[in-house]
């Protein structure tokens, strides 16, 4: 698991008055970016080639598109560096975990994630300590 200290050192390099909300370009992305814009924040949408048209159409919502061959390419060093240059905080949703995988998110994604990345697995219905366990 990426430590809190590692993420803190990344966040300490951010311009906190210039944060960008990042998300994977899937069904939830437009809602996430619309909310970010309601709060006067910048946005970056990570898109897979061929799936970027909806985000190009809604120019008000998307400040930057990071266009990748496949979503998992976000794990490449240069793509993570670009997200950090933008002072990006990722907002997780189902596609984020489906395309990147829990292991990558927990151990290799050196970009801050809103919330607690170690709780993302709890959304899976097949793990022992899932969302239903938390509600008991």
| pLDDT at 14 exceeding the cut of 90 | yes
Q: What is the pLDDT of residue 133?
A: 76
Q: Which domains does the chain have, with CATH numbers?
A: 4-135 (3.40.50.20)
Q: Between residues 122 and 18, which one has the greater pLDDT?
A: 18
| pLDDT at 124 exceeding the cut of 90 | no
Q: Between residues 88 and 122, which one has the greater pLDDT?
A: 88
97 backbone dihedrals φ, ψ, rounded to 5°: -75, -35
Say what the pTM is.
Answer: 0.91
| 63: its two tokens | 């400040």
pLDDT tens for 64-78 read: 999 999 999 999 999
Q: Of 38, 2, 40, 49, which is closest to residue 20 (Cα–Cα)?
A: 40
Q: What is the pLDDT of residue 4?
A: 94
């Amino acid at each position: 698991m990426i430590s809190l200290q590692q993420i803190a050192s990344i966040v300490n390099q951010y311009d906190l008055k210039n944060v960008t909300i990042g998300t994977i370009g899937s069904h939830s992305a437009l809602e996430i970016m619309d909310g970010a814009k309601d709060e006067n924040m910048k946005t970056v949408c990570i898109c897979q080639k061929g799936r970027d048209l909806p985000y190009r159409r809604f120019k008000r919502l998307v400040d930057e598109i990071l266009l990748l061959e496949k979503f998992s390419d976000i794990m490449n060093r240069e793509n993570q560096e670009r997200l950090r240059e933008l002072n990006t905080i990722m907002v997780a949703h189902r596609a984020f975990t489906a395309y990147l995988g829990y292991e990558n998110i927990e151990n290799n994604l050196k970009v801050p994630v809103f919330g607690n990345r170690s709780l993302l697995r709890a959304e899976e219905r097949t793990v022992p300590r899932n969302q239903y366990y938390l509600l008991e």
